[in-house]
């Protein structure tokens, strides 16, 4: 679906011709077809080597389970691996208690319907933190071009309406078109709440809006 927006219009004279300047807006709503989520395994132990080995074994289980689910290795990449010494205060004194190892992978999902299953499989396999869930469009430029077409149609309709009210003749072919604002890939962040239940974690991504804005100039005649 799309919607049209209203913006400022003005007319002037350019090189002996009357010029009408209008703005156009187009908005396309579309379903996302790409999801990304970060799955993290956190382990703690007094021994760094034990914490690391436990973490590695757990993450191997997670990745293996995701591959069994049908994901490819190209859809899974390590985005963070950190080691933190852990301390606690006892009677005002800092005491070393061990190490925390955090290993995070980012999973890219091209079937939105299995996002909840990916999360659940990860958690069952040992993931204890889920973050960074977001939805986007595989080919955002194609959607943006459609929004840009709608923006131009919006500008033409405005110009026709104005010149009709002015009782003048419009040349409907723009003499100049300028895009307004830089295009950026639309990404919708999603706050995920894990539910301890035998069913899949519910995921409702909603729609993504892609907006285009432009300024168009037209000749018109008395």
Give dist(CA 78, CA 110) in Å, integer: 18
- Cα dihedral 68/70/73/74 (nearest 10): -170
Token pair 């009709």: residue: 164
Question: Where residue 31 falls among pLDDT bands split at 50, 70, 90?
Answer: very high
Q: How many whole angstroms separate alpha carbon 101 and alpha carbon 98?
A: 10
Q: How many CB atoms lie within 10 A of CB 105?
A: 22
Q: What's the CATH number where 16 sits? A: 3.30.110.170
147 shares a domain with 121? no
Query: Mean pLDDT for the chain?
Result: 88
pLDDT at 202: 75
Residue 60 pLDDT greater than 90, yes or no: yes
Q: What is the pLDDT of residues 39-51, one digit of tens each?
A: 999 999 999 999 9
| 117 assigned to some structural domain | yes
Give the side-chain half-sphere CA count within 13 A for 58. Answer: 25
Instruction: Tell me if 88 is assigned to some domain.
Output: yes
Q: Are residues 125 and 43 in the same domain?
A: yes
What confidence tens digit (pLDDT) does each residue in 145-190 have?
999 999 999 999 999 999 999 999 999 999 999 999 766 777 777 7
| Domain enclosing residue 105, as ranges | 34-136
pLDDT in tens, 77-102: 999 999 999 999 888 888 999 999 99
**Tell me, what's the pLDDT at 10?**
52
Q: What is the pTM of this model?
A: 0.78
Interval 102-138: pLDDT, tens: 999 999 999 998 999 999 999 999 999 999 899 999 9
Total number of domains in the chain: 2
């Amino acid at each position: 679906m799309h919607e049209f927006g209203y913006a400022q219009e003005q007319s002037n004279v350019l090189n002996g011709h009357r010029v009408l300047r209008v703005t156009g807006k187009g908005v396309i709503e579309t379903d996302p077809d790409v999801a990304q989520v970060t799955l993290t395994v956190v382990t703690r132990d007094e021994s760094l080597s034990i914490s690391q080995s436990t973490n590695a074994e757990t993450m191997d289980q997670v990745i293996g389970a995701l591959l069994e689910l049908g994901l490819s290795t190209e859809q899974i990449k390590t985005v963070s691996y950190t080691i933190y010494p852990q301390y606690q205060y006892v009677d005002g004194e800092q005491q070393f208690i061990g190490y925390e190892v955090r290993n995070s992978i980012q999973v890219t999902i091209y079937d939105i319907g299995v996002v909840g299953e990916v999360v659940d499989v990860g958690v069952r396999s040992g993931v204890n933190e889920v973050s960074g869930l977001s939805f986007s469009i595989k080919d955002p430029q194609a959607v943006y071009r459609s929004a840009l077409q709608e923006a131009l149609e919006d500008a033409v309709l405005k110009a026709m309406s104005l010149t009709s009210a002015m009782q003048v003749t419009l040349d409907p072919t723009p003499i100049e078109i300028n895009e307004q604002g830089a295009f950026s890939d639309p990404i919708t962040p999603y706050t995920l709440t894990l539910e301890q239940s035998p069913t899949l974690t519910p995921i409702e991504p909603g729609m993504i809006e892609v907006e285009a804005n432009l300024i168009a100039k037209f000749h018109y005649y008395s």
